[in-house]
Structure 1
Amino acid sequence: MEPVIREAKPEDKPFIEEISRLTWGGEDYLARVFDEWIEDGDFYVLELDGRVIGTAKLTLLPNKVGWMEGLRVHPDYRGRGFGRMLHNFIVQRGRELVEEGKIEALEFATYFLNRESIAMAKKDGFSVIAKFFNLGAKVADFQPEEPSPTEFEMEDLGLGIIPLGWKFVHRSGEALKWLREKGEAYETGGFKFIATKDGITFTPLSAGLGCIRAMLPAMAWVAREKRREEFDLMLTSGMKPVLPGLKRLGLFLWDETEEPNVLVFRKRP
């Protein structure tokens, strides 16, 4: 049978959970967001011979951005063009949303070693608009200190593109509202940071080595409360000069590199 791309259904969950277990050493988030994505819509699966072997999602973000995410292919079916098929489908779906006036551009983020996605993006006319460092940390390496829940305003958002987990939004009033709804904000020692609601990834709203040092115990506290043993920080590429200092604080890169390991792409369909 020919492969078919269709909207995901609740009964697809066991297939998605299997793909998730076999991706990123079992650390993939796909299974955790399955129900949310089903409700949100524009969540698609690639089915072959009655089996779901791939996924892709298009999410509407502030400033009329169509965010491409969740592109996965089961390991047993990689290298056969299914990833390209899903990518092309989502790009075409983006064109339809542009025509409907719902979005103005497509964007996505990927890890710097995801060479297949990067090659497809460049071939299709996507350009890199931002680079970030994603660094890991272990809760056990810090003495967790409880931060205070807080609010943040536009003046707290110093970057033009602000990460929340692996989604990135352009600084605007609409983005501020979205970040408040989707994230959790904390303050410690006068420094603020945003956390994903699962306590996995943190975005410092104050840059600098000293600021990060002051916030790490509070981030570790939040991660521990969410029953996490490890957590991540998403830092702007401007932090490259202090990368050695960040490592001395206990942060680490999953793959050794001196360059930013997260790339954000954009294209106007």
Structure 2
Amino acid sequence: MSPTVRTARHDDYDDIVDLTSDVWADRAMADYIPDVFRDWVNDDGADRKTLVADVDGHAVGIAQAVILTETEAWFQGMRVDSDHRGKGIGSLLTDHLIEWAADAGVSVGRSMVFSWNEAGLGQSLAAGFEAVTSFRWAHPDPADETPDMAVGNDPAAAWRYWQESDGRDILSGLALDSGESWALSTLTRETLDQLATDQAVLTVGDKPQGMACRVRTAESDGEQLAEYAVGVWSDTDAARALFTAIAADAASLGVDGTRVLIPETPRHVAQAAYASGNIDECPDFVFEIDGLEGLS
């Protein structure tokens, strides 16, 4: 029977649990989708759409799109049941979500794929996406220490540094979105202004030599984490000062750990490893499809 695409429903939950049970069977990590599926269904609306592929009354695939800004959408949660892979279901779901985002007036859509997820990388290319950047997570431990450089909370200075940094070019101007967990969107001056009020914007050096911005605190695997949209810096000394400032900021919140998005280059990864002492083993890739407004 050919699959049909429809909006996800609460009674799809058992099917979603089944189809995600062996997604990363070769890795010591569980899929997050069963934990958020009911929230996804509840939150569906003008800026969020969760679809499933239905075969004979059973959900055999799932994907979601979220409108992040007037021009940017984020595609996430693409999963297909192991018995139905290789049949074009992933592309079918993606095509429907692209059409939905285009009708909403969005011009660009993006998604994230773990660098080790060969199937996901191939699926992204097959759906018409192109790889645009890669990043890695650094995790400095919260610690009440004083950096060797002056620390500021000036969004104007942070914006100037960001605009001139090689990290901005490497990341294509993207940083962790302030509204949607695990999504990336274009970092703007307005976002930094808001974060300076609601969260924290950090610069290091009298003439800034690095910047970072905190977007939220969130729970992950039973721990409370402070999440930083991006961290960029000029050299090893600035990296050490910036990660010390991040660690002190996190300590002031009483959280258990941190997650800082950094550019994936040899310089940034090596200096972050030296300065923070803890970075993820593998990078993540960001894919993009442009020109969606022409599809509506």
| Residue 246 of structure 1, CA deviation | 2.7
Q: Structure 2 vs 1, CA of residues 151 and 49 (structure 1 numbering), >3 Å: closer, same or farther?
A: farther
Q: Does 1:193 align with 2:209?
A: no
Change (3 A) 1:145 1:96: same
Q: TM-score, normalised by structure 1?
A: 0.71
The within-5 A match list for 1:40-51 is 40-41=44-45, 42-51=49-58
Counterpart check, 1:110 vs 2:126: no
State whether residues 71 and 108 of structure 2, in contact with CA within 8 Å, keep that contact through their aligned partners in structure 1. yes
Q: Does residue 4 in structure 1 map to residue 1 in structure 2?
A: no
| Structure-to-structure mapping, 1:27-106, within 5 angstroms | 27-38=30-41, 39-41=43-45, 42-97=49-104, 102-106=105-109
Deviation string 1:47-92 (CA, Å, 9 cap, x unpaired) is 2233222211111111411221111123443334322222232233
Q: Structure 2: which amino acid aligns with 1:104? A: S
C-alpha spacing 1:124/1:47, structure 2 compared with 1 (3 Å): closer
Q: CA RMSD in A?
A: 3.9
Number of matched pairs: 249
How has the CA–CA distance of structure 1 residues 78 and 90 changed in structure 2, closer, same or farther, with 3 Å as cutoff? same
| 1:161 match | 174
Residue type at the aligned position of 1:109: M
Report whether the alignment pairs 1:240 with 2:278: no
Q: Return the alpha-carbon distance in structure 2 between the equivalents of residues 217 and 116 of structure 1.
A: 36
Deviations 1:144-194 (A, max 9, x none): 4499xx9874653424222235311113366558x75xxx73468967531
Equivalent AA in structure 1 for residue 286 of structure 2: L
- Separation in 2, partners of 1:28, 1:212: 32
Q: Specify the code of the residue in structure 2 equivalent to 1:40.
A: D
Q: Secondary structure at the match of 2:100?
A: helix
Cα distance change of structure 1 residues 94 and 205 upon mapping to structure 2, 3 Å threshold: same
> Can you give the 5+ residue segments of structure 1 that lack an aligned partner in the other structure?
none
- Mapped to 1, the partners of 2:85 and 2:10 lie a distance apart of 24
- Give distance in 2, aligned partners of 1:23 and 1:70: 11
In the TM superposition, residue 28 of structure 1 has moved relative to its aligned partner by 3.1
Bigger radius of gyration:
2
Q: Does 1:217 align with 2:247?
A: yes
Distance in 1, matches of 2:215 and 2:103, equals: 33
Contact kept, 8 Å, 1:169 with 1:175, in 2: the verdict is: no
Give the match's secondary structure for 1:254: coil
Tell me which amino acid in the other structure corresponds to 2:213.
F
Q: State the alpha-carbon separation in 1 of the partners of residues 12 and 144 from structure 2.
A: 41
CA–CA separation in structure 1 for the residues paired with 2:254 and 2:18: 27
Letter in 2 for 1:233: V
User: CA distance change for structure 1 residues 57 and 152 in 2, over 3 Å: closer, same or farther?
Assistant: farther
Does residue 251 (structure 1) correspond to residue 281 (structure 2)? The answer is: no
8 Å contact from structure 1 (residues 108, 266) kept in 2: no
Structure 2 CA distance for partners of 1:221 and 1:79, relative to 1, 3 Å: farther
* Contact kept? 2:158, 2:203, Cα under 8 Å: no
Q: What SS is found at the alignment partner of 1:113?
A: coil
Please tell me whether the aligned partners of residues 130 and 265 of structure 1 are also in contact (alpha carbons under 8 angstroms): no
Contact 1:152–1:185 (Cα < 8 Å) also in 2: no
Aligned counterparts of 1:188 and 1:171: Cα–Cα separation in 2: 15
Which runs of 4 or more aligned residues in structure 1 lie more than 6 Å from their structure 2 counterparts after TM superposition? 187-191
Q: Counterpart of 1:209 in 2: which secondary structure?
A: helix
Q: Distance in 2 between matches of 1:146 and 1:44?
A: 47
The answer to whether the Cα contact below 8 Å between 2:65 and 2:74 also exists between their aligned partners in 1 is yes
